[in-house]
Amino acid sequence: MGKNHYLEKLFPPKKIKDVDYILKYYFEGIEISKEDNRIKFILEDPYAPEMELIKGVYVIYKKAILELLEGKIHSIYSYEFNSPKKKNRTISDEDIEYVLEMATVVVLASENDQILTTFFIAGSGEKLNSILNLCCGYSKDLENNEFKVSLQNFIDDIEVVKQMGLLKEIIVNE
């Protein structure tokens, strides 16, 4: 019980604004309106959150960041991540349609307008899934025997995010 209580304290559900900061600052995501026609087909996916619950849509397109999220680059502190990052060209909002085919689109949703309750990822980004799982927070439900696999997945996500060098960004609140 002690370890699980510790996890609950370390990983409360994050506010949408905190996850917004992570996506914009660490992954250089560009926020795009959920009403934008260029991403309409993505939001029509049956697994995407309902439109009224969506609080933010972000396009992540820079090569080094995508490689980090795919696991090709292991850490934000690695040479491979920091060296090519300097050469990446930043695009404007108008250029988004040109990168959508290779980009990862992240949709944040909330049932109460403040706390991240669900998310959707279109494109590659296995490690992004781990980050957002931790941002959703530790749930007491994970302590039930029927959710042992989910608890192990949560613990595995902690290790993935730690290896990426981003765990302190998830744990630190305010």
Minimal CA–CA distance to 20: which of 60, 72, 47?
60
Q: What is this structure's pTM?
A: 0.86
Instruction: Give yes or no for residue 150 having a pLDDT over 90.
Output: no
Task: Dump pLDDT digits (tens) for 70-80.
Answer: 888 889 998 88
Task: Dump pLDDT digits (tens) for 50-96.
Answer: 999 999 999 998 888 888 998 888 899 988 888 755 556 665 555 56
123: left (phi over 0), alpha (psi -120 to 50) or beta: left
Confidence of residue 133 (pLDDT cuts 50, 70, 90): very high
d(CA 74, CA 55) in angstroms, rounded, equals 29
